Each structure stands twice: as structure tokens, then as C-alpha cells.
Amino acid sequence: MKIVINRRKIPMQVLTKKWERFKGYMWKLDPITLGLCYPKKRYFSTYFYCQSIDLVMTDKNYKILYLYKRLRSEKRIFFKRKVYYTFVLPADSCQDLKVGDTLNVLEK
């Protein structure tokens, strides 16, 4: 799976296993180049994240419902309605996106 933002393709990893979903990018010191996709996750926490991220929450059709740019460590996003996918992207990768846009997702 890949997301295309401004002609830039960001490779994504779909997290389905419980440990993967819990860990995410906790304690990761290397620069983030790979995005994470959490299906059916309506809330998010950045505790123990060592760097800023961009967080995009969409519905089943990849329409952006909530967008958080440069989300720092130790922040919580509480339960949001109608969210189906939560995408964690490298910081500053979704500067031109806004709520209501549709993500261009390339599925394999």
C-alpha cells in the first residue's frame, strides 16, 4: 500500500497484529520514512514517541475527517466518530492536505 501526496509516494505498512498496533513508532530514534495504517482505530496516543508525526484519520472511502500536523510526543487523540483508518505519516508530509480531501491510496 502507498499514499500519494504531491507526487510523493509514501510506502505504508498495514498493522493488524496486536503487538504491532500497540508499539507503532514508540522508542524509534531513526527518521521515519514508512507510514503506518491502523484499520478500525478511532483514537491515538503518542506516548513514548521520540519524534513528531502527522496523523490523518479517514473514513472507509479515504475521505479525511481529522488531520493533525506535527503531533508531538505525549499527546492523546480521543475517540472520534466515523473514523475507519488512521494513518501515521512522517512529519510535514501532509502540509497541502485539508479536512474534506480524499487521500490517494494505491493498494497492491
Owner of C-alpha cell 509514501: 10
Contact 75, 64 (CB under 8 A): no
Domains and CATH numbers, the chain: 2-106 (2.60.120.1140)
Q: In the chain, helix, strand, coil percent, each to 5?
A: 5, 45, 50
Q: Name the more confident of 66 and 49.
A: 66
Contact 53, 31 (CB under 8 A): no
pTM for the structure as a whole: 0.84
Cell representation of residue 7: 507526487
Residue range 31-39: mean pLDDT, rounded = 86
pLDDT at position 21 over 80: no
pLDDT at position 3 over 80: yes
pLDDT at position 26 over 80: no
Kindly report, residue by residue over 64-98, the tens digit of the pLDDT. Answer: 999 999 888 888 788 888 999 999 988 888 888 88
Tell me the percentage of the chain whose pLDDT exceeds 90.
Answer: 19
Residue range 10-30: mean pLDDT, rounded = 79
Please give the DSSP secondary-structure letter assigned to residue 79: -
Residue range 50-73: mean pLDDT, rounded = 90
Average pLDDT, whole number, for the chain?
85
Bridge pairing between strands 8-14 and 2-5: antiparallel
HEC secondary structure over 30-77: CCCCCEEEEECCCCEECCCECCCEEEEEECCCCEEEEEEEEECCCCEE
For residue 30, the model assigns a pLDDT of: 80
